[in-house]
């Protein structure tokens, strides 16, 4: 049986809140910037013709920075001997710096235009990714550090509640109304206050300072992380270049043949980037350790494939609605976009807490399988209809699937990784979180510009199905491997 991290103090009811509230602020940030503010600013700065490609470039670079920073923060916090705890100092520093970045985005939105505005936005988003992932990488170690394995399904459910439905609902009723009215600075102030409150509450997590001796810093591992990030980025760039070279040929065909060929090119490109990117990156970052836990590689592939669909449906939904409904152009699309996100959020809210109980009772893999099928059905409904009500229904199905997936998949991951280095391994798992946006944005953006965002949404739906195939390769570590952890 895998070694359990000692819990120094009995868990109280409010520990589930203080351990997980930081994920509310982090996701509120991403659900404000990613589907609303940043796409609108990119469109404002570069115009309609290249908005998808420009946004995809921004997503690739910023998310690869996030991948590296989150992995490093996880490993550094694993070894922290601060008297304030292993994780909290990182969360505090990241939160304060993030608020500064929010203010800078507000200034850029109100004072700049053209390529100068795009360049400044690009730079600040990268800095924002650094700050948010310093805290994110450390925070992911709180549940493995402090919660016994038999309760992690429930605590993962609370994490999913804070990470998914609650921020989506808050965005729909507050931030989206500000953005629709052109009040971007008001939205920025709102998420800044939320980040400040979440950081303060997280400081009440009852961490026991880690006493020495701790394992020395593995500098070779850090070098591997840097190489991993460069390799993953290189694979995405190479695949994206190949897709861009093939698109003009496909666009030269007539009618349905052009659309089908573009879709095939996009799907193959994304699948290659997912599988090859994860396999190469995990082997580089973990070295020989990766071969001892092949389940970890397949868990990341499963997670990455699902999140390519889920994250990018949110990222490009504003452009999708502008294409599908001519009456919603510019900031007018923020309203229906946020309402669709609200439908997704309500569905996640309904299912997130029951998913923890279902995961503990019926097992993690059956729930993950169901989520992949359900999400693909929801995506199909979204792209086949021009009725906004039915699109909301499709969003509800995707939300139910996403809520189930986040709870069950994360609970499975906490069992697969070695407990003593949970921060490091779960930080590396951000290959899925960061890689999803990078793959879906960099490869998908040109497809959206060239073939339309309905086609692009269909590609993301196919990735949900592929995620279920990777699930069959995930097997828990045997007893001997577990003892080595």
What are the Cα distances from residue 420, in Å, to 210, 215, 410, 425?
12, 10, 17, 10
**6 part of a folded domain:** no
**31 part of a folded domain:** yes
pLDDT tens digits, 283-319: 887 777 877 888 888 999 999 999 999 888 888 889 9
Number of domains in the chain: 1
Q: Label residue 203 by pLDDT band (50, 70, 90).
A: very high
For 48-52, 150-154, 376-380, which range has the lowest pLDDT when averaged over its residues?
Answer: 150-154
**1 part of a folded domain:** no
Whether pLDDT at 481 is above 80:
no
Q: Label residue 480 by pLDDT band (50, 70, 90).
A: very low
pLDDT at position 3 is 40
Whether pLDDT at 2 is above 60:
no
Rounded to whole angstroms, how far apart are CA atoms 12 and 382?
A: 42
**Would you say 90 and 134 are in contact if contact means Cβ atoms under 8 Å apart?**
yes
Whether pLDDT at 482 is above 90:
no
pLDDT cut 90: percent of the chain above it:
46
For 217-226, 454-463, 465-474, which range has the lowest pLDDT when averaged over its residues?
Answer: 217-226
Rounded to whole angstroms, how far apart are CA atoms 432 and 136?
A: 14
**Would you say 377 and 126 are in contact if contact means Cβ atoms under 8 Å apart?**
no
Whether pLDDT at 241 is above 90:
yes
Q: 149 is in which domain, residue-wise? A: 15-479
* Rounded average pLDDT over 8-20: 83
* Rounded average pLDDT over 16-29: 94
pLDDT at position 427 is 65
- pTM, full prediction: 0.77
The overall average pLDDT reported for the chain is 87
Whether pLDDT at 200 is above 80:
yes
Q: Label residue 478 by pLDDT band (50, 70, 90).
A: low
Rounded to whole angstroms, how far apart are CA atoms 382 and 378?
A: 6
Q: Which residues contact 65 (CB under 8 A, 6 or more apart)?
A: 126, 129, 130, 133
pLDDT at position 32 is 93
pLDDT at position 423 is 65
**4 part of a folded domain:** no
**Would you say 121 and 184 are in contact if contact means Cβ atoms under 8 Å apart?**
no
For 236-250, 270-284, 410-424, which range has the lowest pLDDT when averaged over its residues?
Answer: 410-424
**5 part of a folded domain:** no
**455 part of a folded domain:** yes
CATH number at residue 462: 1.20.1250.20
Q: Label residue 212 by pLDDT band (50, 70, 90).
A: low
pLDDT at position 479 is 46
For 175-184, 213-222, 327-336, which range has the lowest pLDDT when averaged over its residues?
Answer: 213-222
pLDDT tens digits, 41-96: 999 999 988 899 999 999 999 988 987 888 789 888 988 888 888 999 999 999 99
pLDDT at position 8 is 47
Backbone angles phi, psi at 261, to 5 degrees: -65, -40
* Rounded average pLDDT over 90-111: 96
pLDDT at position 338 is 82
**10 part of a folded domain:** no
pLDDT at position 417 is 81
Whether pLDDT at 107 is above 90:
yes
**Would you say 348 and 399 are in contact if contact means Cβ atoms under 8 Å apart?**
yes
**301 part of a folded domain:** yes
Whether pLDDT at 197 is above 80:
yes
* Rounded average pLDDT over 392-412: 90
What are the Cα distances from residue 183, in Å, to 109, 141, 263, 326, 354?
10, 36, 37, 23, 37
């Amino acid at each position: 049986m895998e070694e359990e991290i000692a819990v120094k103090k009995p868990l109280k009811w409010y520990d589930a809140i203080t351990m997980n509230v930081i994920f509310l602020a982090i996701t509120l940030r991403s659900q404000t910037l990613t589907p609303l503010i940043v796409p609108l600013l990119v469109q404002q700065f570069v115009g309609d013709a290249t908005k998808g490609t420009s946004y995809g470039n921004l997503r690739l670079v910023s998310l690869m920075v996030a991948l590296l920073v989150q992995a490093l923060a996880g490993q550094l916090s694993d070894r922290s001997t601060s008297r304030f705890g292993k994780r909290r100092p990182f969360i505090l520093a990241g939160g304060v710096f993030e608020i500064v970045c929010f203010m800078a985005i507000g200034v850029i939105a109100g004072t700049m235009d053209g390529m100068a505005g795009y360049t400044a936005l690009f730079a600040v988003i990268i800095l924002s990714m650094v700050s948010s992932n310093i805290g994110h990488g450390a925070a992911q170690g709180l549940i493995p550090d402090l919660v016994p394995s038999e309760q992690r399904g429930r605590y993962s459910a609370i994490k999913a509640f804070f990470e998914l439905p609650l921020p989506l609902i808050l965005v729909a009723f507050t931030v989206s109304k500000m953005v629709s009215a052109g009040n971007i600075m008001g939205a920025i102030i709102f998420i800044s206050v939320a980040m400040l409150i979440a950081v303060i509450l997280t400081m009440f997590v009852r961490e026991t300072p880690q006493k020495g001796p701790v394992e020395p810093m593995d500098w070779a591992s850090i070098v591997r992380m840097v190489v991993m990030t460069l390799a993953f980025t290189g694979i995405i760039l190479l695949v994206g270049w190949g897709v861009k070279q093939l698109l003009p040929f496909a666009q030269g065909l007539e009618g349905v043949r052009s659309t089908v060929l573009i879709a095939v090119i996009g799907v193959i490109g994304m699948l290659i980037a997912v599988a090859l990117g994860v396999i190469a990156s995990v082997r580089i970052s973990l070295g020989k350790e990766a071969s001892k836990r092949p389940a970890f590689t397949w868990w990341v592939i499963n997670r990455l494939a699902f999140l390519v669909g889920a994250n990018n449906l949110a990222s490009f939904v504003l452009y999708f609605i502008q294409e599908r409904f001519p009456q919603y152009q510019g900031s007018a699309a923020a309203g229906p976009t946020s309402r669709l996100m609200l439908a997704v959020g309500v569905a996640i809210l309904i299912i997130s807490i029951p998913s923890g109980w279902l995961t503990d009772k019926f097992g993690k893999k059956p729930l993950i399988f169901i989520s992949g099928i359900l999400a693909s059905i929801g995506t199909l409904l979204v792209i086949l209809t021009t009725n906004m009500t039915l699109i909301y229904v499709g969003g509800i199905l995707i939300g139910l699937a996403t809520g189930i997936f986040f709870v069950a998949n994360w609970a499975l991951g906490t069992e697969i990784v070695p407990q003593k280095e949970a921060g490091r391994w779960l930080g590396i798992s951000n290959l899925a979180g960061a890689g999803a946006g990078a793959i879906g944005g960099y490869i998908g953006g040109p497809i959206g510009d060239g073939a339309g965002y309905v086609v692009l949404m269909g590609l993301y739906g196919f990735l949900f199905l592929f995620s279920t195939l990777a699930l069959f390769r995930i097997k828990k570590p045997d007893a001997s491997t577990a003892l080595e952890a």
